[in-house]
Amino acid sequence: MVLAIETHELTKRYGTQIAVNALSLDVKQGEIFGFLGPNGAGKTTTLLMLLGLSEPTSGTARVCGHDPAREPLQVKRLVGYLPESVGFYEDMTAEQNLAYVARLNGIEKSSLPRKIEGLLDQVGLLAEARKRVGAYSRGMRQRLGIAEVLLKDPKVVFLDEPTLGLDPDGTQKMLDFIVGLSRDKGITVFFSSHLLDQVQRISDRVGIMLKGSLVAVGPIQELAKQKLGVDQERFTLEEIYMRYFREGVPAQS
Ligand SMILES: Nc1ncnc2c1ncn2[C@@H]1O[C@H](COP(=O)(O)OP(=O)(O)O)[C@@H](O)[C@H]1O
Ligand SMILES: [Mg+2]
């Protein structure tokens, strides 16, 4: 089994506050991992540490075999990141935005127009490729963000609340893309969300964060069995989640 992401006691403090508390977690290559938790649980902080964009207070992480704190450039080369809110050049078209990012990342020029066209097609933006991004809806921006993430042919993608603010149709499209990344391209997907039903629909495994601590990790079925004592096909993650929420964070041993 090849691990795409490993963390060991990964911790981030802001002053006296612990944003991420001794997080130990493994994610397998090709897996869709749903990182769940309410606002303020420490999801974004974890992503930033895995990307090498925020330095851990203590503990270690490996992404594709590299330590993001020590080898941020190697990690950057291998991973894609969709932040909660993606920034584009509003006056440039989708095509121009992708070409610009490609240039920054030193992506080979000769095959670029074809690649950009292929990616815009994949995310359903080909018809709007020459519209200025300033006129894009939130759903279109998110899909352009996915195209940008895929420019680098990443091994692992980190998506921070990718469905936030999308309408039901946009949400479904985004979830389909995520599944496609894993199934068709073998990309490892680590995505955060506070929306339980979505995570349940597409994740191979989930981790549940509460106040900086990982309180549960595993396939949804297993978590349901452990926590709710249910061994059935139909259950909601909401129930599991609320159970943890009521019990709070277990004391660290
Ligand atoms: N730059 C920062 N400075 C101080 N506190 C922060 C900073 N970033 C996050 N926090 C705090 O860390 C906790 C976790 O935040 P975050 O990782 O953004 O949670 P989530 O993404 O799950 O909503 C929150 O209490 C938040 O206020
Ligand atoms: Mg966040």
Amino acid, res. 51: L
φ, ψ dihedrals at 191, nearest 5°: -130, 145
Distance, in Å, from the CA atom of 13 to the CA atom of 21, rounded to the nearest integer, reads 8
Instruction: Let me know if residue 200 belongs to a domain.
Output: yes
Cα→Cα distances 36→5, 156, 179, Å: 16, 18, 17
- Closest C-alpha residue for ligand 1 atom 25: 40
Q: Is a pLDDT exceeding 80 seen at residue 248? A: no
Instruction: Let me know if residue 165 belongs to a domain.
Output: yes
Kind of pairing between the strands at 79-82 and 156-160: parallel
Q: Can you give the C-alpha Rg of the chain in angstroms?
A: 18
Q: Kindly give, in sequence order, each residue whose CB lies less than 8 Å from that of residue 61, ignoring residues fewer than 6 positions away.
A: 5, 6, 7, 8, 10, 49, 50, 67, 68, 69
Q: 37-41, 72-76, 91-95, 223-227: which has the minimum mean pLDDT?
A: 223-227
Instruction: Let me know if residue 150 belongs to a domain.
Output: no
Q: Are 49 and 68 in contact (CB under 8 A)?
A: yes
Q: Which of 221, 231, 190 is nearest to 79 (CA)?
A: 190
User: What's the total number of domains in the chain?
Assistant: 1
Q: What is the CATH number of the domain that holds 201?
A: 3.40.50.300
Task: For ligand 1, pick from 10, 14, 47 the residue to mutate: most ligand atoms within 8 Å of CB.
Answer: 14
Instruction: Let me know if residue 54 belongs to a domain.
Output: yes
Task: Considering only the C-alpha atoms of the chain, give the largest distance between any 2 of them, rounded to a whole number of Å.
Answer: 57
Which pLDDT value is given to residue 253? 41
Q: What angle do CA 120, 121, 125 make, to 5 degrees?
A: 60
Q: How is residue 80 written in tokens?
A: 């894609």
Q: Which range marks the domain in which residue 64 is found?
A: 3-82+158-247
Instruction: Let me know if residue 181 belongs to a domain.
Output: yes
Instruction: Let me know if residue 237 belongs to a domain.
Output: yes
Q: State the ligand closest to the CA atom of 214.
A: 1
- pTM score of the predicted model: 0.91
Q: What residues does ligand 1 touch, defined as CB less than 6 Å away?
A: 14, 19, 37, 39-45
Instruction: Let me know if residue 219 belongs to a domain.
Output: yes
Q: How is residue 83 written in tokens?
A: 């932040």
Distance 70 CA to ligand 2 centre (A): 24
Distance, in Å, from the CA atom of 198 to the CA atom of 39, rounded to the nearest integer, reads 16
Q: State the ligand closest to the CA atom of 12.
A: 1
pLDDT digits (tens, 9 = 90+) for 168-201: 888 998 999 999 999 999 999 999 998 888 888 8
Beta bridge partners of 35: 192, 207
pLDDT digits (tens, 9 = 90+) for 211-224: 999 988 998 878 77
Task: For ligand 1, pick from 10, 16, 17, 45 the residue to mutate: most ligand atoms within 8 Å of CB.
Answer: 45
Q: Which atom of ligand 1 is nearest to the CA of 44?
A: 21
pLDDT band at 230 (very low <50, low <70, confident <90, very high): low
Instruction: Let me know if residue 50 belongs to a domain.
Output: yes
